[in-house]
Amino acid sequence: MLHNVYLYGGQVTSWKNAHGEELLFVSSKASFRPPRAIRGGIPICFPQLKSTGSLEQYGFARNRIWSIDLDPPPSPSDISHKAYVDLILTHSEEDMKIWPHSEVRVEGLETLDYLDNLKNGERFTEQEDAITFESEVDKVYLSTPTKIAILDHERKRTFELRKDGLPDAVVWNPWDKKAKSMADFGDNEYMHMLCVEAACVEEPITLKPGEEWKGRQEISAVPSSYCSEQLDPLRLLLRG
């Protein structure tokens, strides 16, 4: 198999079989330089498809120059008759202005019920595979596991939160508008923080005279890469 991959757009433009037959279409009039995206091949449409969001049609990833990952995760053991390349798209200040986002996600709270404080504490069930952040979040997740993973892609590290006696978990980030309205919070500091804390909200603990209650929260940080087995959320959450 023969392949062509352009750093412009991180786009595959050619895929030929053993007989040299081209299996992908690329227009004879395609442009291979900014500002137009390459017409054909396998484009990466991110962070939106067509005009479903506020950005340019199909997002900006296919109009940016990607780079080759010089420290890629290990390749699969069986790579015969296969080709691999690890590309990275690093956001610019311009990208952050038009699409403010976070490269952090929270694992371990999938399918759980939560109280949404942005909707008067109404109860919902989490539908996402992982919690990511593109707007203000203020939720209380109920009956959570004793271990929660916070994945920081940009700095290639994972925070592991372990807890006992605290069944719930608060997840909060004010995002841009709320941050600007807070006197004791920097306008752009929402991009550098995330609140994930153990809590007991749904069923308050009541102690009788002489009774005791213990609660514990432990946080550890480990270097890792999201693409590596080190940062496999399932491995992390199931690890003893």
Token match 């009039």: residue?
29
> What residues contact 89, with CB distance under 8 A and at least 6 apart?
10, 61, 64, 66, 67
Whether residue 105 contacts residue 151, with contact meaning beta carbons closer than 8 Å, is answered with: yes
If you write DSSP's letter for every residue of 179-196 in order, what string do you get? Answer: HHH-TTS-TTGGGG--EE
In angstroms, rounded to a whole number, what is the distance separating the alpha carbons of residues 121 and 138?
A: 10
Is 230 labeled as ligand-binding?
no
Whether residue 59 contacts residue 101, with contact meaning beta carbons closer than 8 Å, is answered with: no
> What residues contact 148, with CB distance under 8 A and at least 6 apart?
106, 107, 108, 109, 160, 161, 163, 169, 196, 237
Is 62 labeled as ligand-binding?
yes
For the record, the structure tokens of 180 come out as 């600007």
Is 33 labeled as ligand-binding?
no
Going by the annotation, the residues of the binding site are 39, 57, 62
Specify binding-site residues for substrate: 39, 57, 62
